[in-house]
Amino acid sequence: MAKLTKEEVKHIAHLARLAITEEEAEKFSEQLGKITEYVETLNELDTTDVEPTSHVLPIVNVMREDVAKKGLELEKVLLNVKEHENGLIKVPPILEE
Amino acid sequence: MTLLERSSKELQEGLHKGEFKIVDVINETYKRIEEVDGDVQAFLALNKEKALEEAKEKDQVPVNERGPLFGLPIGIKDNIVTEGLETTCASKILEGFIPIYDATVVKKLREAGMITIGKLNMDEFAMGSSTETSYYKKTKNPWDLERVPGGSSGGSAASVAAGEVPFSLGTDTGGSIRQPAAFCGVVGMKPTYGRVSRYGAVAFASSLDQIGPITRNVYDNALLLEVIAGVDPNDSTSADVPVPNYVSKLDGDIKGLRIAVPKEFLAEGIDESVRKSVLDALEVFKGLGATVEEVSLPHSKYALATYYILASSEASSNLARFDGIRYGFRAEGVKNLMDLYKQTRAQGFGDEVKRRIMLGTYSLSAGTYDAYYKKAQQVRTLIKQDYDKVFEDYDVIVGPTTPTAAFKIGENIDDPLTMYANDILTIPINLAGVPAISIPCGFDNGLPLGLQIIGKHFDEETVYRAAYAFEQATDYHKQSPRLGGK
């Protein structure tokens, strides 16, 4: 696997919602290629039947009482929003014409 | 002795005797920042007006109603949210972001009466080992201004080393508290995963991130952890484990302490000066009545690769929230919503953050998930088992914090893999979820070196006891860098 082509990098950038220029795709394909080559050293290890660890604590489900609580005030929520109108956040067109 | 060179105990003594007031301590703090931060560049934002107001109010509180940290100044890493005080994660994408609530740790500091001085520089989104990936400024190592302070909590460690604040908070995902603490000659603790609530710490890798204290001495460090630790209903991964009174256990007596030294931690790639300082430290421990034996953590060499897959995968998911809609930077002149996301993120994130988001996206994508993400999670199990096994027979594991002393600014920034290798001794600890501290243990040509003491899950107490005993038997922590002509 290791080597990442420029096209693959562009696809990954799209999945990650990052605009990317030709030069960046070139640079990242080289850098990410080196990194993926390095991380593939893990293949030296036989991990058949080894359970994956997602995090180290024996915590499974943490429940709380099902009681309604007040959320954030609208004024606070909108404090950091660049564009809003009548309590709604404005965004550019979602559907193409 | 200036006010800020005093320990918390000495500061409280002075306050109780009426030698000076809280407002004097806070004024002195800002004066020192004004004097040296032009060189050190640790702070991104200051909270001066409010801090002085709070100090005046706190001076009215009778001394018998004050706790041990009451009225004392603290700096906060800029990825921990502070209501009303700009929080950027040192990223352009959060420029101008004003949090609308306090992180749980910040709330706890407030309850203990501590005063927030300002926000501290870091690698962008805590991704880096030198604080060079900050969008805003390059923090310098107070011991040598041409060198990095380490990272990602570089501002937190440098501000304490420079005598700007006696306390700071950092975060540690793969060494981001301990490595800068080592490079700056201060004390930095990464607590057990789950010991401190992460509510309000901007998530990088949720299964690895922990908030922890950075201070000039072990006693103050333990005192601060006691304040910020504990279960929190707002963080379902915070653990419901009682928090001991750490400082009451610090007596310098470690007779019979069983110390394990992993041979992998002193192997190839570790600087000779680092190796020597650790071997000297082990002699100090023996002199104090501890036993020292060599052990093996055979999967250590796989930790770095495991970490970069897991941390990047979690980051790619956590950083999806920065889309230009609800907060932070928003790109202009875009065609549609998709374009807004892509342009905002492309213009708002720096290269290191983009690299990790892409590596994570790749690791989690169809076709690579099993070979990368799942494989790394399985290797994580093997690494954790290495630690579990050693801790069956030993109380603590001791080794260096970093392979070398602080490197020069610009030296590693263009080579991601060399930069990553800096964290080779700290990363396995986050993967295993155990606590570890870095304390000063020597110098290499005038640059501080750090000793790492690693403990069992939720046994910060033994780590602090060992660290305190070592500190009391040595005087590395008493030395300070020369700054501002002093």
Min distance A12 CA to chain B CA atoms (Å): 6
Q: How far apart are CA A66 and CA A86, in angstroms?
A: 31
pLDDT of residue B486: 47
Instruction: For residue B381, give the H/E element and its range.
Output: helix B375-390
Task: Please state, in angstroms and as integers, the Cα–Cα distance from residue B2 to each residue in B6, B10, B29, B184, following that order.
Answer: 7, 11, 10, 20
- Write the DSSP symbol of residue A70: -
pTM exceeds 0.95: yes
Tell whether A82 lies on the interface with B, counting CB pairs under 8 A: yes
Q: Assess contact for B71 and B25: CB atoms under 8 A.
A: yes
**Nearest CA among B476, B467, B388, B421 for reference residue B189:** B467
Q: What is the CA radius of gyration of chain B?
A: 21
Residue B183's Cβ-count burial label (10 Å; 0-12, 13-18, 19+) is: buried
CA B280, distance to chain mean position in Å, is: 25
Contact yes or no for B89/B125 (Cβ under 8 A): yes
Q: Nearest Cβ partner of A39 from B308, B338, B457?
A: B308
Are the C-beta atoms of B474 and B185 separated by less than 8 Å? Answer: no
Q: Do B381 and A32 touch (CB under 8 A)?
A: no
Note whether B358 contacts A89, CB cutoff 8 Å.
no
> Are B177 and B160 spatial neighbours (Cβ–Cβ below 8 Å)?
no
Those residues with Cβ within 8 angstroms of residue B201's Cβ, 6 or more apart along the chain or in another chain = B79, B80, B81, B103, B105, B171, B209, B211
pLDDT at B413: 86
Closest residue in B to A97 (Cα–Cα): B336
Match 């057990």 to its residue by tokens: B192
Tokens of B421: 């290798």
List beta partners, residue B178. Answer: none
With beta carbons less than 8 A apart as the criterion, state whether B292 and B261 touch: yes
From residue B135, how far is each of B139, B237, B317, B320, B345 by CA, in Å? 11, 30, 21, 19, 14
Residue (of B343, B330, B334) closest to B94 by Cα position: B330
pLDDT in tens, chain B (486 residues): 688 889 999 999 999 999 999 999 999 999 999 999 999 999 999 999 999 999 999 999 999 999 999 999 999 999 999 999 999 999 999 999 999 999 999 999 999 999 999 999 999 999 999 999 999 999 999 999 999 999 999 999 999 999 999 999 999 999 999 999 999 999 999 999 999 999 999 999 999 999 999 999 999 999 999 999 999 999 999 999 999 999 999 999 999 999 999 999 998 889 999 999 999 999 999 999 999 999 999 999 999 999 999 999 999 999 999 999 999 999 999 999 999 999 999 999 999 999 999 999 999 998 899 999 999 999 999 999 999 999 999 999 999 999 999 999 999 888 888 888 889 999 999 999 999 999 999 999 999 999 999 999 999 999 999 999 999 999 999 999 988 654
pLDDT of residue A60: 80
B463: Cβ–Cβ under 8 A, 6 or more apart, which residues? B189, B396, B435, B436, B437, B453, B454, B455
With CB atoms and an 8 Å threshold, state whether A42 touches B305: yes
CB B352 within 8 A of CB A20: no
Separation CA B177–CA B160 (nearest Å): 12
- Chain A neighbors of B368, CB-CB under 8 A: 1
3-class DSSP state for residue B156? helix
Query: Smallest Cα–Cα separation from B33: which of B41, B25, B21?
Result: B41
* Paired sense of beta strands B258-262 and B187-190, if any: unpaired
Q: Which residues on A lie below 8 Å from B359 (Cβ)?
A: 32, 35-36
Instruction: Kindly provide the residue ranges of all beta strands, DSSP E only, lying in B151-309, ordered along the sequence.
Output: 167-172, 187-190, 210-215, 258-262, 291-295
Say if A69 is an interface residue toward chain B (CB within 8 Å): no
Of all helices (H) and strands (E), which one includes residue B44?
strand B43-46
- Contact: B320, A20; criterion CB under 8 Å: no
Q: Please, which pLDDT band fits residue A1 given cuts at 50, 70 and 90?
A: very low
Res A97: pLDDT: 59
What is the dihedral sign for C-alpha B159, B165, B170, B176? positive
Residues composing chain A:
97
Top residue of B240, B358, B383 to mutate, by most chain A CBs within 10 Å, is B358
B457 chain-A contacts, CB cut-off 8 A: 56
Q: The tokens 């050693």 sit on which residue? A: B390
List the single residue in B236, B330, B380 with the smallest CB-CB distance to A53: B380
Cβ <8 Å between B326 and A89: yes
Task: State how far the Cα of B270 lies from the Cα of B400, in Å rounded to an integer.
Answer: 9
Tell me, what's the ipTM?
Answer: 0.94
Rounded CA-CA distance B415/B310 in Å is 20
**A residues 14..43 contacting B (CB < 8 A):** 14-20, 28, 31-32, 34-36, 38-43
Q: How many other CB atoms sit within 10 Å of the CB of residue B185? A: 30
Query: With an 8 Å Cβ cutoff, are B305 and A53 in contact?
Result: no
The answer to whether the beta carbons of residues A42 and B305 sit under 8 Å apart is yes
Average pLDDT (A27-44) is 93
Q: Catalytic amino acids of B? A: 77, 152, 176
